[in-house]
């Protein structure tokens, strides 16, 4: 069974630029999560989808971050414009249903200069 795929693996941009991350969850998983993990900290949930509907996005900085999950499968997370403090690893995870085991992708390491 293929795992959660993410791309790109690394991205370096300058502040005020925009960037997009892509996630392909495990086939059949209804729940998809995007996390931000700053160095030395635990992952912080940005947004949680159930199929193509948003379950929670209370910690998503909506003035600059947006996410969508078209057709309840792949998802993209966008940052526009980026700030220095957005430098982090962005992790995507999926689970068959909410509250169950999450399967994480390798993450995208973002550096904002």
Partner 1 sequence: SQQGEEDPQALSIQEGENATMNCSYKTSINNLQWYRQNSGRGLVHLILIRSNEREKHSGRLRVTLDTSKKSSSLLITASRAADTASYFCATDEGGSYIPTFGRGTSLIVHP
Residue 110 interacts with partner 1 (CB under 8 A)?
no
CA–CA separation, 38 vs 35, rounded Å?
10
Name the segment binding partner 1 (CB under 8 A); options: 13-21, 62-70, 77-85, 98-106: 98-106
Closest contact distance (angstroms) between CB of 113 and partner 1 is 21
Considering only residues 55 through 94, tell me which ones interact with partner 1, judged by CB under 8 A.
Answer: 55-56, 91, 93
Phi-psi region of 16 (alpha: psi -120 to 50; beta: other; left: phi over 0): left
Helix count (H) and strand count (E) of the chain? 0, 11
Handedness of CA 72, 76, 81, 83 (dihedral sign): positive
Among 5, 45, 73, 111, binds partner 1 (CB under 8 A): 45
CA–CA separation, 41 vs 92, rounded Å?
16
Considering only residues 11 through 40, tell me which ones interact with partner 1, judged by CB under 8 A.
Answer: 33, 35, 40
Among 11, 25, 34, 43, binds partner 1 (CB under 8 A): 43
DSSP one-letter code for 97: S
Among 15, 16, 44, 62, binds partner 1 (CB under 8 A): 44
Binding site for partner 1 (CB under 8 A): 33, 35, 40-45, 48, 55-56, 91, 93, 98-107
């Amino acid at each position: 069974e293929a795992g959660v795929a993410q791309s790109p693996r690394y991205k370096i941009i300058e502040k005020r630029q925009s960037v997009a991350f892509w996630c392909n969850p495990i086939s059949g998983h209804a729940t998809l999560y995007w996390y931000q993990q700053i160095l030395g900290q635990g992952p912080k949930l940005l947004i949680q989808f159930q199929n193509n509907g948003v379950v929670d996005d209370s910690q998503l900085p909506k003035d600059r971050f947006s996410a969508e999950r078209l057709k309840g499968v792949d998802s993209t997370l966008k940052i526009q414009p980026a700030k220095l403090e957005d430098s982090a690893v962005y992790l995507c995870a999926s689970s068959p249903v909410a509250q169950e085991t999450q399967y994480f992708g390798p993450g995208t390491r973002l550096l904002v200069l």
